[in-house]
């Protein structure tokens, strides 16, 4: 399709930061291939959904979206499903949503330009074949898998069925990382860089190792080159991304690589923080089992490394952590928390929790509540357990009724709200540096983000006009459980 700037695409993203960043790379790739991005499905020739399957609700959202747009297929639009649902469901998507033409998991995005070209060629071939056979049959279709295509005929298909089927699916064998120079970042001040893709942890409830493939790290050289390039473009904040950044392994250390250039995750983190122009470096997500003290040492040594760590715990009960195959105990988790609490700067700690995992008793749940009190997190993202395809815990009976899961979730969120109400109050009277993120006209406030990753909304005197992307000092005057309020210091 290269060169035809009239071809338009619409891309909607579901799910985590990895998906958001993958979409930035997909958009960059499509623009490079000559497509133009549009804001609505109506205007688009190609409609793409970058999907999430972490919980059943997320997956259902995707299928609802696809069924909404059945009607558009009649207008000649092409539909593609990318991301975790694509990888998880594979060719079954063509059965559930027969008007879809492209199904590709994240481990095959490197082949996206090739797949897009195949898609166009196959669609025009299918149209021709259907045309030639007009009056005889209207069931011609082209199936393309891993670079091969062919015209297929079969029984008469429903009107909305796609003529073309292209798949890019991973078999957990790929060594590919989706590295591209054409990333279309949406924010000009802070941006993501993927350092590791996939996951080899296989927590018993989690679909990610099956949807995002095996762990593969980028070389620290290539990460640093991208970070320097971003600094040259004016970015001041970088967020290093991976399902488990702590298991980063520089491929320069592999046979044939340059050993002298090998960096551990903590060394890479520090090196990104030392790039001139970079003022903030964040990283997500961490796994307690692989989280080393060297990360705290790096935060202590390099002031640009943000004083915030997201360390998902999932449960406060060692018995449940074992059933979840998390590979650490409550005490080992708390040891990592103690490291953070003895750092030179106060580190803000956030976490993820699952309630209602099979076999979770009231006592297990109470241990999780006790952990919240003990750690005093700055934010907790909590979820009801959702059984996922392929995962080991699918074989356990999902015996806790949804109402009970909902009750536990509610109790947990109420407890956490109390904790945050008290802890956020402690900031009143202190001065924080924030990056200006935007303005809330309705409230007459500017929106800022602290190094701790807290939202700090602030007012400014008439003489001052902050600029988005700038760093300013704000004195905190009041607090809510999830945000702070303050005034610009001039």
Q: What are phi and psi of 193, to 5 degrees?
A: -135, 125
Taking the complex as a whole, how short is the minimal distance between the CB of residue 355 and ligand 5AD, in angstroms?
9
Of 168 and 209, which CB lies nearer to ligand SF4 in the complex structure? Answer: 209
From 114, 297, 352, 404, residue interacting with ligand 5AD (rule: CB under 6 A): 352
Q: Cis omega (within 30 of 0) on the bond before 285?
A: yes
Tell me the window of 34-42, 213-221, 333-341, 381-389 that interacts with ligand 5AD (CB under 6 A): 381-389
Q: Please, what is the end-to-end C-alpha distance for the chain in angstroms? A: 53
Other C-beta atoms closer than 10 Å to the C-beta of 312 total 20
Per-residue contact track with ligand 5AD, 305 to 334, x per CB under 6 A? -------x-x--------------------
Which residue of 97, 298, 320, 354 would you call a contact of ligand 5AD, by CB under 6 A?
A: 354
Nearer to ligand SF4, 201 or 214 (CB): 201
Minimum distance from residue 387 beta carbon to ligand 5AD (Å):
7
Size of the site for ligand SF4 (CB under 6 A): 10
Which of 148, 153, 146, 151 has the alpha carbon at shortest distance from 123? Answer: 151
Contact partner, 209, from ligand SF4, ligand 5AD, none, Cβ < 5-8 Å per class: ligand SF4
Instruction: Sort strands 148-152 and 141-145 into parallel, antiparallel or unpaired.
Output: antiparallel
Query: Quick one: 36 or 201, whose CB is closer to ligand SF4?
Result: 201
Which residues within the stretch 49-78 sit at the binding site for ligand 5AD (CB under 6 A)? 54-55
Residue number, 11 or 16, with CB nearest to ligand SF4:
16
CB of 357 to ligand 5AD, least distance (A): 8
Closest residue to ligand 5AD, Cβ-based? Answer: 352
- Give the residue with the Cβ less far from ligand SF4, 143 or 196: 196
Q: Does residue 321 belong to the site contacting ligand SF4 (CB under 6 A)? A: no
Residue closer to ligand 5AD, measured from CB, 34 or 392: 392
Tell how far CA 340 is from the center of its chain: 25
Binding region for ligand 5AD (CB under 6 A) out of 104-112, 290-298, 383-391, 436-444:
383-391
- Beta strands 471-479; 431-440: pairing state: antiparallel
Q: How far is CA 294 from CA 197, 298, 340, in A?
A: 22, 6, 11
Binding mask 172-211 for ligand SF4 (x = CB under 6 A): ---------------------------x-xxx--x-xx--
Q: Calculate the alpha carbon distances from 46 to 7, 258, 283 in Å.
A: 8, 42, 33
Binding to ligand SF4 by residue 244, rule CB under 6 A? yes
- Would you tell me which residues interact with ligand 5AD (CB under 6 A)? 54-55, 205-206, 312, 314, 352, 354, 383, 385-386, 388
- Would you tell me which residues interact with ligand SF4 (CB under 6 A)? 199, 201-203, 206, 208-209, 243-244, 287
């Amino acid at each position: 399709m290269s060169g035809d700037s009239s071809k338009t695409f619409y891309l909607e993203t579901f799910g985590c930061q990895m998906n958001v960043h993958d979409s930035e790379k997909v958009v960059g790739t499509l623009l490079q291939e000559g497509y133009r991005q549009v804001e609505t499905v109506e205007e688009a020739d190609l409609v793409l959904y970058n999907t999430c399957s972490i919980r059943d609700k997320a997956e259902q959202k995707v299928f609802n979206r696809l069924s909404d747009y059945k009607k558009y297929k009649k207008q000649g639009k092409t539909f593609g499903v990318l991301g975790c649902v694509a990888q998880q469901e594979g060719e079954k998507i063509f059965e559930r949503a027969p008007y879809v033409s492209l199904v590709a998991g994240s481990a095959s995005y490197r082949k996206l330009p090739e797949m897009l070209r195949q898609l166009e060629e196959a669609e025009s071939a299918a149209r021709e074949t259907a045309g030639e056979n007009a009056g005889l049959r209207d069931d011609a279709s082209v199936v393309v898998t891993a670079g091969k295509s062919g015209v297929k005929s079969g029984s008469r298909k429903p009107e909305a069925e796609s003529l073309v089927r292209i798949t890019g699916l991973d078999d957990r064998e790929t060594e590919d990382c989706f590295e591209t120079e054409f990333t279309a970042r949406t924010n000009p001040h802070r941006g993501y860089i993927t350092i590791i893709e996939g996951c080899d942890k296989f927590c018993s409830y989690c679909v990610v190792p099956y949807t995002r493939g095996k762990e593969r790290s980028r070389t620290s050289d290539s990460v640093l080159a991208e970070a320097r390039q971003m600094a040259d473009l004016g970015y001041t904040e970088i967020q290093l991304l991976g399902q488990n950044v702590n298991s980063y392994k520089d491929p320069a250390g592999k046979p044939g690589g340059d050993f002298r250039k090998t960096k551990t995750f903590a060394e890479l983190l520090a090196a990104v923080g030392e790039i001139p122009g970079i003022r903030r470096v964040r990283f997500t997500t961490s796994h307690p089992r692989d989280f080393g003290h060297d990360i705290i040492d790096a935060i202590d040594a390099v002031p640009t490394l943000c004083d915030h760590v997201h360390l998902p715990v999932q449960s406060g009960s060692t018995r449940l952590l074992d059933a979840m195959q998390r590979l650490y105990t409550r005490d080992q988790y708390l040891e990592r928390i103690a490291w953070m609490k003895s750092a030179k700067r106060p580190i803000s700690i956030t976490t993820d929790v699952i309630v209602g995992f099979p076999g979770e008793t009231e006592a297990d749940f109470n241990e999780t509540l006790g952990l919240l009190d003990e750690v005093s997190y700055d934010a907790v993202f909590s979820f009801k357990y959702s059984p996922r395809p392929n995962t080991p815990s699918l074989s356990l009976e999902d015996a806790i009724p949804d109402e009970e899961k909902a009750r536990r979730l509610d109790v947990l969120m109420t407890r956490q709200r109390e904790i945050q109400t008290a802890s956020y109050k402690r900031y009143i009277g202190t001065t924080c540096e924030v990056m200006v993120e935007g303005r809330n006209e309705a409230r007459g406030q500017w929106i800022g983000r602290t190094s701790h990753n807290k939202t700090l909304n602030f007012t400014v005197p008439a003489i001052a006009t902050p600029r988005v992307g700038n760093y300013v000092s704000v004195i905190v005057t009041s607090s809510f459980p999830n945000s702070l309020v303050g005034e610009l210091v001039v």
